[in-house]
Amino acid sequence: MKNHMQNLSNKKCVPCEVGPGASGAHLMANEIEELYKQVEHWEIVDYHHLKRRFTFKNFAEALVFVTKVGSLAESESHHPDITFGWGYAEITSFTHAIDGLSENDFILAAKIDTLLS
């Protein structure tokens, strides 16, 4: 198992490889549970994706947050699904290339959490 205990918000997302012999296998349940300790405000859904709902005072605050998340996602080359509206934003992250959770999803979640501080 890889060393996942480094602070996730200090790590960089890396491209996942897929195909025979590639390193792009989704994380196992024990690895997910270990990484989850650093992003406990998120919900693990079916050991397949992470999800978190954020609340804001109005539409404008939600939009500012979503714009920050979008810029972060671009810089990390890891793109979550984002839904937002008046007073909320919901982020769902999983690694499409492996159809499951990778360390990148936890890195992105940790970095999104830092946008709130």
**Per-residue pLDDT tens for 36-71?**
999 999 999 999 999 999 999 999 999 999 999 999
User: d(Cα 23, Cα 20) in Å, to the nearest integer?
Assistant: 9
pLDDT of residue 18: 53
Query: Is the pLDDT higher at 29 or at 5?
Result: 29
Pick the CATH number of 26-114 from 2.40.10.120, 3.30.2000.10, 3.30.1360.20, 3.40.50.1010: 3.30.1360.20
Q: Give residue 18's Cα distance to chain centre.
A: 19
Q: Are 96 and 26 in contact (CB under 8 A)?
A: no
What residues does each domain of the chain span? 26-114
pLDDT of residue 71: 98
When pLDDT is averaged across residues 15-23 and rounded to a whole number, the result is: 54
Q: Is the pLDDT confidence value at 17 over 90?
A: no
**pTM, whole model, 2 decimals?**
0.86
Residue type, 41: H
